[in-house]
Amino acid sequence: MKLLTIILLFVSSHVLAQGTKKMGKIRAGDTFDCSAYTFIHPLYGEHPGIDSAYGIKHICESENEIEIRFSACHGPMPIFEIIILSLKNAQWSAKKFEFYIQKGYLYPDSAMNAESEQVFVSPVKSPEGLDKIFDKLKKNNIFSLPDFSEIKNKPHGPSCGTMYLVTFKKGDQFRTYSFHNADYYVVHDSRKVFMNYYNIAEILSKELVKE
């Protein structure tokens, strides 16, 4: 009986270690404030009610096992998109939100936003499968990259361009970090972190197509 218990403990610890290895390093945000996080902020103001208008749960209340929210804001224009990639019950899904805020505000109603051509929502997929997209994101350290502001001795880059925001949930771990102008820095700095930023932006911006 004692031998059986030891074997079971060994097998379970081995499985756990393998699962952690497959996920790669995860850097959670010790200061992640669930009460301050909204679906759209900080890209273009608060816009109260937008989360509920599109049935987007607060990420801290999400029932998904894994959820990645990727935002790209093409400043200085109020044009941006948000992709939500999620895993629940072994099934991957993804949705893309495209915002064109020409009036300076959004309606707290999805139908009115669609009618005014300010917000478009589409399920998206990958020809190779969303699980393969996730594997690519893991290979580029999406769960452990630093915030752009933490990187020292960066080359002087453009003051405007495309800002990216990554927010993720893995189990009960959460974090948000940002970077910008990935296409500029990958050319002007050879450090791996800039290649990771660039690859993540390319994968999520170009490898997902509307269903």
The total number of structural domains in the chain stands at 1
Residue of 163 and 194 predicted with greater confidence: 194
pLDDT in tens, 139-155: 999 999 999 999 999 99
- DSSP for residue 78: S
Task: Give the range of the structural domain holding residue 128, as residue numbers without chain letter.
Answer: 27-210
Confirm whether 104 is domain-assigned: yes
Confirm whether 42 is domain-assigned: yes
pTM of the model: 0.81
Tell whether the model's pLDDT for residue 76 goes beyond 60: yes
68 token code pair: 């990645």
pLDDT in tens, 19-34: 434 666 888 877 777 7
Distances (CA, A) of 88 to 14, 18, 68, 128, 145: 24, 20, 12, 19, 24
Confirm whether 162 is domain-assigned: yes
Residue of 151 and 97 predicted with greater confidence: 151
Per-residue burial over 80-112, b = 16 or more CB atoms within 10 Å of its CB, e = otherwise: bbbbbbbbeeeebebbbbebbbeeeebbeebee
Confirm whether 1 is domain-assigned: no
Confirm whether 163 is domain-assigned: yes
User: Comparing 2-6, 56-60, 118-122, which segment has the lowest mean pLDDT?
Assistant: 2-6
Confirm whether 8 is domain-assigned: no
